[in-house]
């Protein structure tokens, strides 16, 4: 249940919703769209629950007008969506596919006509397959291709869109996609996945520069974060939590905000002069166990100032030691909290803790923060009367919005909050089994039904404005 009225946020605070291209658009083969690594991954036996794929998904590519109307009814001030690289450059290089950009231009103009600010993310995991065939993010070249694509998108839309996000959750791409193999492209390289981390960061830096030269005024990157709690106060578990914090929370933020990699010694990578965590931070030529793929000057590109940090938060992590493992930690359950349909613990205080941690860790280097994703999955069903009673989602959102307010009151500069997600969609390896939307989608008929949480969020936004 939600509690008393939510405290008031500062005037100008942005209330929004988030989606991503692959998860909602469908129209996988239309208007010249190329294949992405997720199209390919979905065909891998056993990769996606029930063998589902996103060829149709929410059919948003055709139903975007209806979806913009839903957002107008909701009263959001901003919509974070992603642009599909394979629509803009079907093979990841070369001139723009005009039809692909036309789609995002129509969407942008419709949003603006409704007073909704578009907030595009350029990379929400759907790499053109043609680039994967050349190494994907393991190849340095991909960073340059990403900047080209960013420039093409901005050349069309920078005049109407102020804030652009480069990457979504490079941690998940690196860890799940390249180290552990349960996301596209399905590589299980463990620590040999690190070049994918660096090349995404380099891609962010190069894309940021390309966006700015195309006239974009604000650039941000979105990371997901989980406060790292040791499972006990033993030295080993504390070290495990430290390692996890580096890997999940610092690896994609320190280089951007501090211009240096964090201490990677828990992963057997030495720090020292010219090495991550060492003075200067910029790695030179790799020694044994060093980071050969980092070139002089890369960190300066990566650390060019940003105008915002996108924060995705779902849950904290509790870690115990896993001795002699390449990743020296394991996730432990967090008892004592309610769980979402995904089994994730509901810990709103973790969001306050995280925001305070970011402020403490980065100080003056921390740009304005946007909560670019927060939400929960639930086993939502439409009743005979057409109602979706999703009390648990209302309670989740209420608790987390209060948690953001606490951080704001304590001086963290948070400028906006985006619910994940506007509507139920293709939840990666879970297919259509995890419903995160404020709007229920019947995937057989494409019928959209606003859930009770939709009305709750609409009222909350109206009350904040009133």
Residues that bind ligand FCB (CB under 6 A): 20, 23, 168-169, 172, 224, 312, 373, 420, 427-428, 436
* Pairwise CA distance, residues 226 & 244, whole Å: 9
For ligand FCB, the closer of residues 293 and 313 by Cβ is: 313
* Pairwise CA distance, residues 56 & 243, whole Å: 40
Query: Smallest distance, Å, CB 323 to ligand FCB?
Result: 29
For ligand FCB, the closer of residues 171 and 329 by Cβ is: 171
Query: Smallest distance, Å, CB 125 to ligand FCB?
Result: 7
Nearest partner of 55 among 35, 81, 83, 82, judged by Cα:
35
Query: Smallest distance, Å, CB 225 to ligand FCB?
Result: 11
Q: What is the largest CA-CA distance in the chain?
A: 67
* Pairwise CA distance, residues 302 & 405, whole Å: 30
For ligand FCB, the closer of residues 172 and 209 by Cβ is: 172
Query: Smallest distance, Å, CB 272 to ligand FCB?
Result: 34
* Pairwise CA distance, residues 247 & 268, whole Å: 13
* Pairwise CA distance, residues 423 & 204, whole Å: 28
* Pairwise CA distance, residues 52 & 153, whole Å: 30
Nearest partner of 151 among 223, 219, 253, 252, judged by Cα:
219
Q: Which residues pair with 36 in a beta bridge?
A: 128
* Pairwise CA distance, residues 199 & 136, whole Å: 9
- Segments of 124-162 assigned E as strands: none
For ligand FCB, the closer of residues 222 and 271 by Cβ is: 222
Q: Which residues pair with 16 in a beta bridge?
A: 78, 418
For ligand FCB, the closer of residues 97 and 121 by Cβ is: 121
Determine contact, residues 10/408, Cβ cutoff 8 Å: yes
* Pairwise CA distance, residues 451 & 441, whole Å: 10
Residue numbers annotated as active site: 169, 373
Angle at 193 between CA 351 and CA 432, to 5 degrees: 55
For ligand FCB, the closer of residues 117 and 312 by Cβ is: 312
Query: Smallest distance, Å, CB 26 to ligand FCB?
Result: 16
User: Three-class SS of residue 296?
Assistant: coil
For ligand FCB, the closer of residues 249 and 271 by Cβ is: 249
Query: Smallest distance, Å, CB 254 to ligand FCB?
Result: 20
* Pairwise CA distance, residues 145 & 143, whole Å: 5
User: Three-class SS of residue 421?
Assistant: coil
Query: Smallest distance, Å, CB 435 to ligand FCB?
Result: 11
For ligand FCB, the closer of residues 52 and 464 by Cβ is: 52
Determine contact, residues 270/289, Cβ cutoff 8 Å: yes
Query: Smallest distance, Å, CB 375 to ligand FCB?
Result: 7
Number of residues that this document lists for the chain? 466
The helix (H) or strand (E) run that includes residue 309 is strand 308-313
User: Three-class SS of residue 447?
Assistant: strand
């Amino acid at each position: 249940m939600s509690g008393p009225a939510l405290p008031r946020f500062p005037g100008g605070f942005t209330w929004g919703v988030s989606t991503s291209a692959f998860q909602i658009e469908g129209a996988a083969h239309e208007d010249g769209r190329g294949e992405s690594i997720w199209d390919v991954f979905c065909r891998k036996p056993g990769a996606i629950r029930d063998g589902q794929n996103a060829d149709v998904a929410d059919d948003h590519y055709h139903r975007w007008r209806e979806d913009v109307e839903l957002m107008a009814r909701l009263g959001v001030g901003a919509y974070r969506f992603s642009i599909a690289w394979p629509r803009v450059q079907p093979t990841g290089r070369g001139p723009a596919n005009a039809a692909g950009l036309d789609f995002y231009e129509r969407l942008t103009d419709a949003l603006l006509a409704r007073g909704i600010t578009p907030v595009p993310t350029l990379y929400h995991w759907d790499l053109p397959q043609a680039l994967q065939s050349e190494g994907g993010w393991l190849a340095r070249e991909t960073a340059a291709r990403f900047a080209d694509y960013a420039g093409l998108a901005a050349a069309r839309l920078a005049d109407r869109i102020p804030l652009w996000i480069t990457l979504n959750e490079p941690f998940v791409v690196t860890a799940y996609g390249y180290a552990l193999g349960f996301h596209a492209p399905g590589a299980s390289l463990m620590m040999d996945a690190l070049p994918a981390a660096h090349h995404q960061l380099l891609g962010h830096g190069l894309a940021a520069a390309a966006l700015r030269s195309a006239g974009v005024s604000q650039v941000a990157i979105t990371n997901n974060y989980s406060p790292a709690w040791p499972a006990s106060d033993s030295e080993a578990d504390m070290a495990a939590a430290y390692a996890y914090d580096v890997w999940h929370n610092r690896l994609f933020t320190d280089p951007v905000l501090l211009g240096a990699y964090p201490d990677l010694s828990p992963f057997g990578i030495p720090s020292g002069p010219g090495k991550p965590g060492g003075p200067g931070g910029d790695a030179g030529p790799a020694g044994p166990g060093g980071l050969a793929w980092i070139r002089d000057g890369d960190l300066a590109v990566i650390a060019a100032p940003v105008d915002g940090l996108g924060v995705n938060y779902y849950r904290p992590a509790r870690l115990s030691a896993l001795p002699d493992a390449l990743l020296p930690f394991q996730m432990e359950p967090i008892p004592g909290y309610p769980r979402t349909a995904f089994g994730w613990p509901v810990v709103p205080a973790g969001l306050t803790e995280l925001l305070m941690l970011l402020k403490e860790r980065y100080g003056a280097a921390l740009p304005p923060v946007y909560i670019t994703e927060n939400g929960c999955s639930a086993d939502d069903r439409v009743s005979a009367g057409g109602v979706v009673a999703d009390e648990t989602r209302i309670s989740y959102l209420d608790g987390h919005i209060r948690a953001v307010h606490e951080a704001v009151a304590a001086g963290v500069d948070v400028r906006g909050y985006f619910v994940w997600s506007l509507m139920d969609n293709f939840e990666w390896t879970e297919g259509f089994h995890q419903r995160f939307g404020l709007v229920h989608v019947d995937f057989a008929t494409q019928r959209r039904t606003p859930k009770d949480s939709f009305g709750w969020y609409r009222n909350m936004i109206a009350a904040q404005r009133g």
